[in-house]
Structure 1
């Protein structure tokens, strides 16, 4: 195998606006730190000055951030029914009440609260963003994508077009599904979830050449720090196909026509070799080689990954596994090693660059802080 990783020019064809697009998600980040002390202090101020509407509104938001939705709702309602309350404050109270209801899962009530806030003059853009989120939470992904498009927020627009495509695939309407994926990439060329779904669909048809072609295009457009998502997603798809084959008892299913591992690996490894040196791409290349039980080449790829980052714990774990069979160990020692390596494999590999949330599954919108495309791989186990 020919290696040309360490003398290549850096590619720069991915979307130059990726940073701005990530910031344009429209979600409000929840505070990570404890806000209990602030809540108690503001509560005392409000008791002493019942007319402090701004503080009242802030207090309600603090309650919501702590998950105390009922108390937040009580605060909004107490403002709404206050005689003589300024129209702009009443509009804000209705708006925050809508956000409280949405957080609690009362989507119909949230809808009505936002409409009331709009009628009172609340910022229409803020209302539009909340209505877009409501559509997404209801599962109306077409409406959500359209709303985010009108707001000129291409990243969430693309994300919900992908969600729409998944719905269409499940319904058997493949032509509309592929159309939605193409629309997602046009809207936001760096949409890693759209490229990944195109790759998985090509894999399901058994077309390894098409997989490689789409993967090559995706690597040109997706931000470098998100490219690992493409390989993780494809690797998971290959695992799902293998599981489906073992449990289908010969019956036809959506994974029945996938390309075999040898064709897949032979198609994607040259794509990886053409990229700039990247520790995660080398790691995933090794993992695909392990599917073929090509231990020698897998070891070589893992060693090259460690040349780029010596403390990359996943590469070291796989190299350790490859060398275990060559060691003479007592049964007790083998049992202990198996226990610790098994525990190490359960360490959550992904985290959010914005808030630090750790997960063992891919995510495109952080479940905690709602940041878009903030996922990262924990190459250093201390991260």
Structure 2
């Protein structure tokens, strides 16, 4: 609508000469695409020189999935000899959107790159290029484009740059390139010191090379920068317990975690630590604390039953397993995007719906269940599996 927004005199004149065009606009505003196309087609027959009408028609055809017609309209606009350069560039950008909607990613990327060469400050265009590179898993190029976006926006984009670097590091790690992976993770932490994913995978890198003390030291840092994501460390620390000779540093750290920020997952990690240290009574006590904080945590019920069996308390263990069966339909751990409300079944660092990074957070299932009961809504769908990406 920007084409006619700044042309008041011409717009008023056009309204008298071409009522079909403005009827088309009214249909767009009422979300009636079919009638809008019908009116714009009438408008084109009255005056085939009107760029605004062709732009509107192209957008409508794209939204309806008629990509071939949309592409032909963009190409016809760009071939006109007397079209202003800003209009030509916009048509080129729209052509890229058409290609993208049609699934022609390579054509779309080539078109957006051409726009970027002619109009380097077009943020919309740069964001489309970045998105395609992300989908193609070309993280280095996505990182470079985000740097350009940050330059033009003059805003701190460190958390997004960090995620691009971490994703690149994961690719290097899969390829067995230890040094480049390590460099990418460290660079990510330099870009954004609170990048949880960088700490997790840098620790994993050390762990895979049997450098357990370094891995433990890296994972510990999450407690300082993002304690709400500590649950991602606990299963890693449990694996470290099976490899490290001196478990006392892990035990001390877990005790500090539950003292300063008590949560069910922390108490369960501490319970497993005590179990590894052959202290069944302490393990059982920590499991009870976990269940006090989250009675629906079925993993805690299962572990408690195991501890009771180890102590020969078979009847109590049986009762605990019966409770466990009742809990298997309750949510284990849920996540939700703070921006668009999307609820993935696992923790993702980028929302697949709104494309924002770091917008997905853990959800308090106990609160959700209370709200559901009060509102009469059905229980949320259970989320099964390992909550630790």
TM-score by length of 1: 0.65
Partner of 1:228: 231
Q: Of 103, 106, 109, which residue of structure 2 is paired with 1:108?
A: 106
- Structure 1 position 160, deviation (Å): 2.0
Partner of 1:202: 206
Partner of 2:357: 372
Kept in 1: contact 2:166–2:184 (CA 8 A)? yes
Partner of 2:269: 285
- What aligned pairs does 1:249-288 form with structure 2 within 5 A after superposition? 260=242, 263=245, 266-275=248-257, 276-279=260-263, 282-283=266-267, 285-286=269-270, 288=272
For 1:325-351, what per-residue CA distance to the aligned partner results, in whole angstroms no more than 9, with x for missing partners?
A: 65749x9x9997665444447x56333
User: Could you tell me how far apart the structure 1 residues matched to 2:125 and 2:171 are?
Assistant: 27
- What aligned pairs does 1:1-383 form with structure 2 within 5 A after superposition? 40-50=31-41, 51-52=52-53, 56=57, 59=60, 63=63, 70-71=65-66, 74-75=69-70, 77-82=72-77, 87-102=85-100, 105-118=103-116, 121=119, 123-152=121-150, 153-221=157-225, 223-231=226-234, 234=236, 238=239, 260=242, 263=245, 266-275=248-257, 276-279=260-263, 282-283=266-267, 285-286=269-270, 288-289=272-273, 292=276, 296-305=281-290, 310=293, 312-315=294-297, 318-319=300-301, 322-323=304-305, 328=315, 340-344=326-330, 349-380=334-365, 382=368
Structure 2 spans left out of the alignment, 5+ residues: 1-27, 42-51, 151-156, 370-389
Kept in 1: contact 2:264–2:291 (CA 8 A)? no
- Structure 1 position 110, deviation (Å): 1.0
For 1:191-249, what per-residue CA distance to the aligned partner results, in whole angstroms no more than 9, with x for missing partners?
A: 1111101111222233432233212323223x3433433446x26x94xxxxxxxxxxx
User: Could you tell me how far apart the structure 2 residues matched to 1:302 and 1:59 are?
Assistant: 59
93-102 vs 173-182, greater mean Cα deviation: 93-102
- Structure 1 position 87, deviation (Å): 4.4
Kept in 2: contact 1:181–1:198 (CA 8 A)? yes
- Structure 1 position 109, deviation (Å): 0.4
Structure 2 SS opposite 1:81: helix
Partner of 2:385: none
42-51 vs 193-202, greater mean Cα deviation: 42-51
119-128 vs 129-138, greater mean Cα deviation: 119-128
- Structure 1 position 185, deviation (Å): 0.7
Structure 1 spans left out of the alignment, 5+ residues: 1-36, 239-257
User: Could you tell me how far apart the structure 1 residues matched to 2:267 and 2:71 are?
Assistant: 52
- Larger fraction in helix: 2
Partner of 2:4: none
TM-score by length of 2: 0.64
201-210 vs 298-307, greater mean Cα deviation: 298-307
Kept in 1: contact 2:96–2:109 (CA 8 A)? yes
Kept in 1: contact 2:333–2:365 (CA 8 A)? no
95-104 vs 288-297, greater mean Cα deviation: 288-297
Residue 158 to residue 224, structure 1, CA distance change in 2 (3 Å): same
Kept in 2: contact 1:90–1:120 (CA 8 A)? no
Kept in 2: contact 1:141–1:160 (CA 8 A)? yes
